[in-house]
Amino acid sequence: NAGVTQTPKFQVLKTGQSMTLQCAQDMNHEYMSWYRQDPGMGLRLIHYSVGAGITDQGEVPNGYNVSRSTTEDFPLRLLSAAPSQTSVYFCASSLYRGRNEQYFGPGTRLTVT
């Protein structure tokens, strides 16, 4: 199993550009989520999904869109990039409930200039 994969690993955007961060998992996990981690800080939940076709907002959803058309994929779209979105983005997946820990991708380091 590849686990949770994220692409790209690094990205530089100009203010106002849009882009999609890709996330895929091959563990048949129902639950997937996106977090951002700013320097020296914890992870803040952006959006999450409990299955194909079902998504919900987390703590910091503004400026981001998600969709979940398949169990495997959960892309994160930045609509109009802003310098405040400079961060490391982590995708994670797990079985839906209970004591099942999340498996994390390696992260995408995004810089918006």
Partner 1 sequence: AQKITQTQPGMFVQEKEAVTLDCTYDTSDQSYGLFWYKQPSSGEMIFLIYQGSYDEQNATEGRYSLNFQKARKSANLVISASQLGDSAMYFCAMRTITGYSSASKIIFGSGTRLSIRP
- What is the binding site for partner 1 (CB under 8 A)? 31, 33, 35, 41-45, 48, 50, 54, 56, 58-59, 88, 90, 92, 94, 96-99, 101-104, 106-107
Looking at residue 83, the DSSP 8-state letter turns out to be G
CB 6 within 8 A of CB 106: yes
Whichever of 14 and 40 has its CB closer to partner 1, that residue is: 40
Identity of the residue, 2 or 98, whose beta carbon is nearer to partner 1 in the bound complex: 98
Looking at the Cβ atoms of 44 and 77, the one nearer to partner 1 is 44
Shortest reach from residue 15's CB to partner 1, in Å: 25
- Cβ contact 34:43 at 8 Å: no
Q: How far is the CB of 23 from partner 1 (least distance, A)?
A: 14
- Of 89 and 112, which CB lies nearer to partner 1 in the complex structure? 89
Residues 35-67: b if buried by 16+ CB within 10 A, e if exposed: bbeeeeeebebbbbbeebeebeebebbeebebe
Give the number of other Cβ atoms within 10 Å of residue 80's Cβ.
Answer: 11
